[in-house]
Amino acid sequence: ITGESRELKLAHNQSLDHPIHLSLVEFGRLVEEKSNNELTVKIYANGQLGSEREVIELTQTGAVDVAKVSASALEGFESDYSIFSLPYVFEDYEEFEIVMNNDEITDQLYYQTENIGFIGLTYYNAGTRHLYTKDKEVTSLEEMRGLKVRVQPSQTSVRMVEALGGIPTPMAYGEVYTALQSGVIDAAENNETALVGNNHGEVAKYYMYTGHQIVPDMLIMNAERFEHLTDEEKEIVKEAAVESTMYHEGIWTETIEEFTVIAKERMGVEFVDVDKSIFIEAVQPLHKEYAANEKTRDIYQLIKGGTLSE
Amino acid sequence: MTVIAGILLFASFFFLLLFGAPIAIAIIVSSILTFFLILPFDVAILTSAQRMVTGIDNFTMLAIPLFVLSGIIMNNGGIAFRLVNFAKVLVGKLPGSLAHTNVVGNMLFGSISGSSVASAAAMGRIMTPMQTNQGYKKTYSAAVNIASAPTGLLIPPSSILIVYSLVSGGTSVAALFMAGYIPGILWGLAVMVVAYFMAKKEGYPVSKLPTIKDVLYIVASAVPSLLLIIIVIGGIVAGIFTATEGAAVAVIYATVLSMIYKSIKIKDVPAILKETIEITGMILFLITASALFSLVMSYIGLPEALSRALLSITDHQVGIILIMLAILLVIGTFMDITPAVLIFTPIFLPISQTFGIDPVHFGMIVCFALCIGNMTPPVGSALFVGCSVADVRIEHVIKTLLPYFAVVIIVLLLVAFIPQISLFLPNLFGV
Amino acid sequence: MNKLKVVLDKTLITSASLLLILMVIFSVWQVLARYVFNISSPGTEESIRYLLIWFGLLTAAYVFGAKKHIAILFFREKFSPRTQLLIERVTDVLIILLAAILMVFGGIKIVLLTSAQTAAATGISLGVVYAALPVSGVFIIIYTVISMMTKRINENEEVGV
Ligand code: NA
Ligand code: NA
């Protein structure tokens, strides 16, 4: 189509020094390089165009062409994405990677949302979530009992903490620091960046490697805009997406290693290995529900089949 | 593209504004017109409609109607008199003591009611007759009341600080509240200094001091009202509850207190709710309109472009701050604080951040500068109300107001260039 | 016409008051649940946010009826009364157009777009939330038409809080 803008508007809500921004810049660079600047990418960082939910809606309407959002933000739009919130659906990151590089599974996931206006292009590692507490080690279900844990405002996260015996306390992320400090909550759960990037390590001194959730970031694109690209451009966009995912893997791992050292040495956070099997056992009722619920049954089987077949 | 879209956005906005369209309408129409320029019709409409709703999708925002409600309840709660008496005990020995009582009364009452209009009206009604009886000129008493009424907007709880928190991307309300105390009190003190010298020149009397017994009674009857501030602000700063929950606690507290004082009857409730609805409907609609406006600005890349333009004039921090202060002061003369904070924060905040100015400190700069507009013509809510309750004409009060205006500007410069004035308390309390 | 306005006012004030009281109760409940009962209340914050959207848009509509949206009348008042009235009418038409295109038409489209979308904590359809926009748009249109037919001069507030 002549005269149409050849610029892809890409929105995300992280700061300019966040690893994901660098990876999205790499995505843009790859698109521009591969297309000889026929296609350009303009990045709106820092949540300039709105919250993740708003940005997904903007991608649906076409005001935004491409967006990086958390898979958890997509749950409300397509229930398949809620599978990532299911604790221990992946036992570790290797298992997660196997699934996310299985085209049969990702095609199902990425094109499921075509009828509501967008498709998935790729995923990015956004860390593995672990439990951290203000002042006590938690390695058993007994120690979990009665623990007030901040969770994201999602039903699955609430159910997860309940299943583990804790008291789920949904609250906005910005309030976690003060809430830990004042004792409104005893614990929170997130990847290592929370300790350093958001200074939670100043008030939380124990970080347990529970690895209960691996919720990736997703790169989504307006379906119609993608459809209007030439076949060659479609290939370019997809290739650039996948290559930026690999690029991201490297800088993300580096960031986590760096943050772990800072948390340990400068903030005095103790990192504790735990026996995950007791926790995995405790959340099995949730797995049964996902396997039985008709909205999540197919994707659950697909993922479980994907990991078992390897 | 940025330039054309930016010109369309602001030209249509100011055109509608000056022709007297409601400010929210001016904001929305100019935003949509700009969207039409760059997006297909359908997409522009959908995107705008979405932002009209998500613009108020924020838990912290509930603090605004709740603080307005608690302020209105307290307003009807007969506490203004108790606070005036309390203020008199504090400053009764100074020349022109009733003027100082008025200032401190505004700081206390404005702090609770969160409205310079309510404060100027309540204080003016009580203080003007008292001052006239003691031979104070009406222009003098009106000027003191007008000049000190805006202090309650900076001293927490404060809706405008919550608005700033929202529009600046979630700056901590607790930190902003703590930051507001010293600038607000300095403003009040500056007004008292001018009032002192004017009173000395005119030979205005010192009040008779109450007996110890009276003092104890006065303090005791003011304590329940002052306790509201301690419970609510203390609770928010200590992280016991969020700003919104604190505001809900304030509503309950104010209701219980008014019931004990028997100052509110069941039949007053509909009027109180109606007044709350009128004020908050206006504010929330402005906020959601501004959410659309700032989306359009980001979309066309305006803040970056303006920032670059400003930095090309001077890259000196002092120069940039002075330019921003001048713009805010001019805007404040004719625009109300809420829309001005909503429109100018997204433009100026990124610029301030290139100099590493703390967003809490910057919030003080913006809100303080715009609050000054409350006491200036052509549009100044404290000015209008202060003149009307004192029954003086605006043009007669202006000359008396000039020295106040000057000292408040000096305090503004102090606030702008000494970050510690704003940041000392937030740092002290670790918020 | 006036009778209709009284009915609309009553409807809006009553529903907005109920929403406001409900939001106070929910917020206080959230504090009590945390400290006194030691239980979690997963859905309250989200519910409050959605009630607030309805509250905000309904009260905004009411304020259109009450003509209390702040405007700057200082400059307009320099014109002759005839010109002022003309400007007022043009503004009214603009408000009707805006409410019809953006709030009602756009609102219905966004309701359709989001009706399948579910909220994270409560699981309700986002369409229910977005429906506040067309509803409040209809109120604004009716109010403005009534105002055009019955009032001659603008009474918008010049000052805010
Ligand atoms: Na206040
Ligand atoms: Na002014």
**What pLDDT was estimated at residue A237?**
98
Q: What is the pLDDT of residues A215-254, one digit of tens each?
A: 999 999 999 999 999 999 999 999 999 999 999 999 999 9
Confidence of residue B246 (pLDDT cuts 50, 70, 90): very high
**What pLDDT was estimated at residue A308?**
53
Confidence of residue A64 (pLDDT cuts 50, 70, 90): very high
**What pLDDT was estimated at residue C151?**
63
**Residue B369 to residues A134, A210, B110, B375, B408, Cα–Cα distance (Å):** 41, 50, 18, 11, 9
pLDDT (mean) for A208-218: 96
Torsion angle of C-alpha atoms A245, A246, A248, A254, degrees rounded to 10: 160
Residues 87-106 of C with CB under 8 A from B: 87-88, 91, 94-95, 98, 101-103, 105-106
Report the mean per-residue pLDDT for chain A: 92
Instruction: Determine, for residues B47 and A63 on separate chains, whether the beta-carbon distance falls below 8 Å.
Output: yes
Long-range contacts: C1-9, Cβ < 8 Å, 24+?
C1/C146, C1/C149, C1/C150, C2/C146, C2/C150, C4/C142, C4/C146, C5/C65, C5/C143, C5/C146, C8/C65, C8/C139, C8/C142, C8/C143, C9/C62, C9/C65, C9/C66
Instruction: Determine, for residues B170 and A44 on separate chains, whether the beta-carbon distance falls below 8 Å.
Output: no
B155 CA → ligand 1 middle, Å: 5
Mutate to test the interface with C, among A53, A176, A185 (most CBs of C within 10 A): A53
pLDDT (mean) for B149-166: 93
Q: Record the pTM.
A: 0.89
Confidence of residue A184 (pLDDT cuts 50, 70, 90): confident
Beta strand pairing call for A148-151 and A167-170: parallel
List the one residue out of B9, B114, B23 whose CA is nearest residue B340. B23
List of chains touching A (3+ CB pairs within 8 A): B, C
Chain C residues whose CB is inside 8 A of the B115 CB are 161
**What pLDDT was estimated at residue A251?**
96
Confidence of residue B260 (pLDDT cuts 50, 70, 90): confident
Q: Is A49 on the interface with B (CB under 8 A)?
A: yes
More confident residue, C67 or A184: C67
Q: Is B317 on the interface with A (CB under 8 A)?
A: no
Residue in C closest to A155 by C-alpha: C121
Report the mean per-residue pLDDT for chain B: 91
- How far C96 CA sits from the closest chain B CA (Å)? 11
Nearest ligand to the C-alpha atom of residue B156: 1
**What pLDDT was estimated at residue A10?**
97
Place of tokens 């409560």: C122
Q: What is the pLDDT of residues B334-343, one digit of tens each?
A: 888 998 999 9
**Pair A39, A6: CB distance under 8 Å:** yes
A160 CA → ligand 1 middle, Å: 42
Cα gap A207→A138, rounded to integer Å: 9
Instruction: Determine, for residues C34 and A184 on separate chains, whether the beta-carbon distance falls below 8 Å.
Output: yes
pLDDT (mean) for A126-150: 94
Does residue A138 have a pLDDT over 50? yes
pLDDT (mean) for B123-149: 92
Confidence of residue A1 (pLDDT cuts 50, 70, 90): very low
More confident residue, B71 or A69: A69
For residue C62, give the nearest of B281, B288, B385 by CB distance.
Answer: B281
- How far C76 CA sits from the closest chain A CA (Å)? 35
Q: Which of A3-12, A135-144, B117-126 has the lowest mean pLDDT?
A: A3-12
**What pLDDT was estimated at residue B211?**
87
Cα gap A169→A166, rounded to integer Å: 9
> DSSP label at B414?
H
Confidence of residue B138 (pLDDT cuts 50, 70, 90): very high
Q: What is the 3-state secondary structure (H, E, C) of C67-135?
A: CCCCECCCCHHHCCHHHHHHHHHHHHHHHHHHHHHHHHHHHHHHHHHHCCCECCCCCCEHHHHHCHHHH
Cα gap C102→C136, rounded to integer Å: 11
Segments of chain C scoring below 50 in pLDDT: 159-161
**Residue A280 to residues A125, A168, A228, B68, Cα–Cα distance (Å):** 22, 18, 45, 49
**What pLDDT was estimated at residue B261?**
84
List the one residue out of A120, A124, A113 whose CA is nearest residue A26. A124
Q: What is the pLDDT of residues B285-308, one digit of tens each?
A: 999 999 999 899 999 998 888 888
- The stretches of A112-185 forming alpha helices (DSSP H) are 141-144, 155-163, 176-182
Instruction: Determine, for residues A58 and B50 on separate chains, whether the beta-carbon distance falls below 8 Å.
Output: yes
Place of tokens 């000027």: B143
List the one residue out of B284, B278, B380 whose CA is nearest residue B24. B284
Does residue B194 have a pLDDT over 90? yes
DSSP reduced 3-state for C16: helix
Nearest ligand to the C-alpha atom of residue B162: 1
Cα gap B173→A28, rounded to integer Å: 37
Mutate to test the interface with A, among C31, C36, C37, C40 (most CBs of A within 10 A): C40
More confident residue, A3 or C89: C89
Cα gap C142→C161, rounded to integer Å: 27
The residues spanned by each domain of chain C are 2-159
Q: Which of A195-199, B88-92, B111-115 has the lowest mean pLDDT?
A: B111-115
Does residue A2 have a pLDDT over 50? no
Instruction: Determine, for residues A178 and B431 on separate chains, whether the beta-carbon distance falls below 8 Å.
Output: yes
B191 CA → ligand 2 middle, Å: 18
Q: Is C46 on the interface with A (CB under 8 A)?
A: yes
Q: Is B145 on the interface with C (CB under 8 A)?
A: no
- Alpha carbons within 13 A on the beta-carbon side of B69: 27
Does residue A116 have a pLDDT over 90? yes
Confidence of residue A3 (pLDDT cuts 50, 70, 90): very low
Q: What is the pLDDT of residues B20-72, one digit of tens each?
A: 999 999 999 999 999 999 999 999 999 999 999 999 998 889 999 999 999 88
The residues spanned by each domain of chain B are 1-54+284-299, 55-264+300-428
Question: How much of chain A, in percent, has pLDDT values that exceed 90?
Answer: 80
pLDDT (mean) for B324-353: 91
